[in-house]
Amino acid sequence: MADSQKPLAGRTIAFLATNGVEQIELTSPWEAVEAAGGSPVLVSPQADSITAMNDDWNHGDSFDVDVQLLAAEAKDYHALVLPGGTLNGDALRVDVDAVAFVKSFFEQHKPVAAICHAPWTLINAGVVEGRELTSYKSLEADLKNAGALWQDAEVVVDEGLVTSRNPGDLQAFNAKLIEEFGEGRHEGQTA
């Protein structure tokens, strides 16, 4: 059992992202996972590094990829974080390997946290029907059309699935993802 100061000690957390990821939605949860004793790992379809964006318009920093997506398997991680960013979310939702990687976390009942535009990938993974979640406002109709129970809330938790709307929700998002990741598998977290 992890101690209360480091609830993610000994846990490896995958962060799935590609070029165009919203920088603060990558770095803030990453730092929260580290502070909770977890080991974050950047997984990407890109081989070497990805370039983040600030507010979808301005290039941010580059981040080294730890594991290329083709070599990544959900069984090697305790949980998954899907940062947002319009370009990132749009690219990952049509990447067959990314969609399969995401779906496998649900099949293994592992917790997943998605923010902003990241729930697009959840739609394509077929895991939102009947689930309560939130997202960036422009995804509301897409999620409802896929059968999700969309809410306009700072953070929504449904059986190990943590979602938030935008960078303004990061404090609540990070707190809930640490809590859910610390709890481990959730039987209600299914594909």
Catalytic residue list contains 117 = yes
Of 20, 187, 166, the closest CA to residue 91 belongs to 20
Q: Which of 59, 78, 109, 116 is catalytic?
A: 116
Query: How far, in Å, CA of 63 to CA of 36, rounded?
Result: 21
Q: Given the DSSP bridges, would you call strands 149-150 and 155-158 parallel, antiparallel or unpaired?
A: unpaired
Q: Which of 59, 78, 109, 117 is catalytic?
A: 117
- Mind giving me the DSSP string for 66-126? SEEGGG--GGG-SEEEE---HHHHHHHHT-HHHHHHHHHHHHTT--EEEETTTHHHHHHTT
SS3 content of the chain, % helix, strand, coil (to 5): 35, 25, 40
Q: How many CB atoms lie within 10 A of CB 148?
A: 26
Catalytic residue list contains 59 = no
* Amino acid in the structure at residue 161: L
Q: How many CB atoms lie within 10 A of CB 96?
A: 8
* Residues designated as active site: 116-117
